[in-house]
Amino acid sequence: MQPSINQICKQARSVGFTFSEEKTSCMHFCRLRRPHYDPLLYLEETPIRCPRTIKFLGIIFDSTHTWKQHILSLKQKCMKSLDILKVLSHTKWGAEPKMLLTLYQSLILSRIDYGCVVYGSACKSSLNILNSIHNAALRYCLGAFPTSPVEGLYCEANIPSLEDRRKIRLSNYMTKILALDEHPYNKICMREAENHPPFSRSAFGRYREYLRIREVDPPQLLRLESSEIPPWKCPPPVVNFELAQFKKGEISNTHWQQSFLDIKNRENVDFVINTDGSKTNDGVGCAFATEDKTFSWTLREVTLLWVPSHVGIAGNEKVDNAAQEASSKDVVDVTMVKPSDYQAYLKSIILKEWQQRWQNLNKNLYRIKPLAYGKYLRVELDRTSLTKTHRLRIGHTALTHKHLLTGEDAPLCADCQVRLTVEHIVCDCPRYEPQRHLFNLVRPYGENLKDKQSIANCLNFLKAVNLFNEI
């Protein structure tokens, strides 16, 4: 290494650059427990120091390559930003949950996501340090009760766990790298695939292990090449939407055909190419046809003209039939996959795993929101009402789960002598039957907290029975 350092310094001097001796460091990655010496290297006859940690591009590297120092430093920074959410999330006058979630993603989650492809090789116990930040922030944003299960928080906020987020970013990053032949890390990945595993679990090693466990066979990716022409200088395609002003059924097929011919004659078009695509449960197909030939493919700069289907235009009918025929074939003509499509496929696998975990938990919120991921609940209510709504949907409230914090016994219904739950109060307890009919509460329990009107009825019911402030 010393000759290489000398050569770099020599070339730097030849162009008028020098390296700062105070800022130059050498990181010796080693996990030997016995005493050992760091490498002795010199920069212009000055020894290069070998610290135990060093910060590079916002990421703290440590000599043992455990990422413990980076994660602890990241947690300390996030705790300061978490105080902002804590102030703005007051249950009475705080900000709207959707706004708080956006603020959390901007101030805290962006920091956690930065570099997660790199420090994701840390052990599970170290990565779990950041989970407390993630879970606490979601509780503040939603106003959830402290004992609320974390899976319910992820589902209600529509934000997956940090582990799932790291998997998504790792798959996106590696898919893009493997599609770039000129990327330096692409060549490193190819060498790593042939040799023994590296000193620490690399991004490619974790990516390959992820695919192996899920029995995913990587397809041949369409290579990404940098274009000499910037995308903002490429002329946009010319698309004619004149025929889109009409709707099927409003005019006859003869009128469609005549309008098509009028546009063709007006534009002085000598050669027409008809295109179409078709998607069925068996596959996807595309085709294009000219006056005398038809070409179709089973799938995995032109002027475009939108043409309605099945209105008697000869070329369009021909290409439509060819596309439907291609979509039902078993043999795939196009084997290469766009990196963006493969990224979406891997993300769908991660979301399905999240959905499977959500189904197995069978929590209170599952009956209201069976899909783990989806749109966030948007209802126009004040902060207090939104806080109560989220607590009712998750199923953990101060009235029913405060005993978990105080160490007392679980509360029982005074009339029924059964375990006091939100569902028992809203749907079962005979004591509140008149108020229940008054506000049109129904069974099952989840139907009372799905939309704006049902939520308003449920909250008014709790106010009528004097339990609103105890939620």
Task: From residue 69, give the alpha-carbon distance in Å to each of 54, 120, 128, 147, 221.
Answer: 10, 13, 14, 29, 37
Is 92's pLDDT higher than 60?
yes
* Residue 431 tokens, joined: 């004591």
Is 161's pLDDT higher than 90?
yes
pLDDT score recorded for residue 265? 86
Q: What is the pLDDT of residues 263-316, one digit of tens each?
A: 888 888 878 888 888 877 767 788 888 878 888 887 664 456 778 877 778 778
Other beta carbons less than 10 A from residue 416's beta carbon: 13
Q: Is 138 left (phi over 0), alpha (psi -120 to 50) or beta?
A: alpha
195 pLDDT band (50/70/90 cuts)? low
- C-alpha torsion 295→301→306→310, nearest 10: 0
Residue 54: beta bridge partners? 61
pLDDT score recorded for residue 273? 87
pLDDT score recorded for residue 49? 87
* Burial call 75-107: b when 16+ CB within 10 Å, e when fewer: eeebeebbeebeebbeeeebbbbeebbebbeeb
How far apart are alpha carbons 427 and 444 in whole angstroms? 8
Average pLDDT, the chain: 85
pLDDT score recorded for residue 302? 43
Q: What is the pLDDT of residues 202-221, one digit of tens each?
A: 888 888 888 888 888 888 88
* Residue 387 tokens, joined: 């806080």
Percent of the chain's residues with pLDDT above 90: 27
Q: Give the H or E element holding residue 285.
A: strand 284-289
Q: Which of 217, 218, 201, 139 is nearest to 166 (CA)?
A: 201
Window from 11-20, 33-42, 68-77 with minimum mean pLDDT: 33-42
Lay out the sheet containing 294-299: strands in order across.
274-279, 284-289, 294-299
Residue 61: beta bridge partners? 54
Window from 165-174, 188-197, 206-215, 303-312 with minimum mean pLDDT: 188-197
Instruction: Give the residue-averaged pLDDT of 32-50.
Output: 84
How far apart are alpha carbons 414 and 190 in whole angstroms? 68
Considering the entire predicted model, what is its pTM? Answer: 0.75
Domain positions in the chain: 2-51, 68-213, 239-327, 397-470
Other beta carbons less than 10 A from residue 194's beta carbon: 6
Q: What is the pLDDT of residues 129-160, one digit of tens each?
A: 999 999 999 999 999 999 999 999 999 999 99
Is 434's pLDDT higher than 60?
yes
Residue 275: beta bridge partners? 288
Phi, psi for 294 (deg, rounded to 5): -135, 135
Is 183's pLDDT higher than 70?
yes
Window from 95-109, 177-191, 299-313, 385-399 with minimum mean pLDDT: 299-313
Q: Which of 308, 290, 300 is nearest to 326 (CA)?
A: 300
User: What one-character DSSP code corresponds to residue 223?
Assistant: P
Residue 276: beta bridge partners? 287
Q: Residue 39 in contact with residue 28, Cβ under 8 Å? A: yes
48 pLDDT band (50/70/90 cuts)? confident
How far apart are alpha carbons 97 and 95 in whole angstroms? 6
